Amino acid sequence: MQHARLFLSPPHMSGREQLYIAEAFESNYIAPLGPMVEQFEQSIRDLTLIPNALALSSATAAIHLALRVLGVGAGDVVLASSFTFIGSIAPILYQNATPVFIDSDTQSWNIDPAILEKAIVSSPKKPKALILTHLYGQCADLNNIISICNTHGIALIEDAAESLGATYNGKQSGTFGDFGVYSFNGNKILTTSGGGMLVSPHKELIDKARFYSTQARDDAPYYEHTDYGYNYRMSNILAAIGVAQMEVLAERITERRQIFSWYREALKDISEITFMPELSETCGNRWLTTLIFEHSDPNNIRLALESENIESRPLWKPMHLQPLFKNAISFQNGTSEKLFEKGLCLPSGTQMSQEDVLRVCTTLKKALK
């Protein structure tokens, strides 16, 4: 008999979502905005201790608004992680700006500060912003990266889409920059089925982002526009799901970290395996357990897992290797290319039991032989 499919990262409801959705229905706040949106934003303010939060339709929309509000426009240079997901990068193109891609280091798998510095000093035009991804829920080398951004006067947007709840020196990821961005897409550690959140210590920037997120309506009884915006706000119904999800964030992080520990324990004798590292200053959320194989082809392992009804996935393909960016400038050191070539994401859904994890490991070990 075929086992039930093990997905990479399926949604995991807390059980209270429908209660809050029912509340939203009873209040008839079905249309965008309403009390649940405010509660959801409040839960993010409580977590991050950042006083300004804006619930949006996606993290991609949040990054777009951050760039727009920072005044990034045609021809501006925006630095970004090469080893990331396209949602982090596409907003640069929406603004007709030019992305410049920075490779990863081996200690964090995120942006390499030395490469970042090199990219800045060799850029003919001063970069306006850096979009820094905390990949797979693990924090980048924030201390060094922030000090470089400060030295050169470059705005920092933290793409914490995958790292909600991860901390660096005890402080939440997404709270170090001018903007932080979280995602509530279907496969993230928490989900509203789709959604995002933008936070910033700068109240005036969030106010401006809110203005752009609701079609840039001027203050008038009729529809008056001196600028254009977007329809990027989150609906009150989805925010109700978010309120319930935020109540279990701490549990979900504990569960993801437990799943990671089970994998590490079960695979510790396989010397060719290296797991994604964690900087000593940090506690990541281990959104996905990811690893690299020194010798074996991860594609064979992925297919062996698939034949046992287990979903796994290659690591993100670096942006500098994407056909879309074949002419883009990038600063490379070979790290993200090796990670893409050698890496695999394992199923990490928080409803997995230790037995499920061991089933993945048994299949994986068989494939290595």
Binding positions for ligand PLP, rule: CB under 6 A: 58-60, 84-85, 87-88, 133, 159, 161-162, 183, 185, 196
Q: Please identify, using beta-carbon distances, which residue of 39 and 133 lies nearer to ligand PLP.
A: 133
Nearer Cβ to ligand PLP, position 85 or 212?
Answer: 85
Give the type of residue at 193: S
Contact 9, 188 (CB under 8 A): yes
Residue 104 sits at φ, ψ, to 5 deg, of: -95, 165
Write down the least CB distance from residue 354 to ligand PLP, Å: 27
* Buried residues in 12-45 as b, exposed as e (16+ CB within 10 A): bebeebeebbebbeeeebeebebebbebbbebbe
Residues 6+ apart with CB under 8 A from 351: 10, 12
**Cα pseudo-dihedral 280, 281, 287, 289, rounded to 10:** -10
249 vs 358 by CB, closer to ligand PLP: 249
CA–CA gap between residue 156 and residue 229 (Å, rounded): 22
- State the minimum distance, in angstroms, from the CB of residue 183 to ligand PLP: 3
Query: What's the closest the beta carbon of residue 275 comes to ligand PLP, in angstroms?
Result: 19
Residue 116 or 364: which CB sits closer to ligand PLP? 116
- Taking the least distance from each CB to ligand PLP, the nearer of 134 and 210 is 134
Q: How far is the CB of 22 from ligand PLP (least distance, A)?
A: 25
Q: How far is the CB of 139 from ligand PLP (least distance, A)?
A: 13
| Closer to ligand PLP by Cβ: residue 232 or 260 | 232
Q: What is the DSSP string of 274-343?
A: EEPP--TTEE---SSEEEEESSS-HHHHHHHHHHTTB--BPPPPPGGGSGGGTTSEEE--SHHHHHHHHE
Q: How far is the CB of 163 from ligand PLP (least distance, A)?
A: 8
Given a contact cutoff of 8 angstroms between Cβ atoms, the answer to whether 140 and 132 are in contact is: yes
- Residue of closest CB approach to ligand PLP: 87
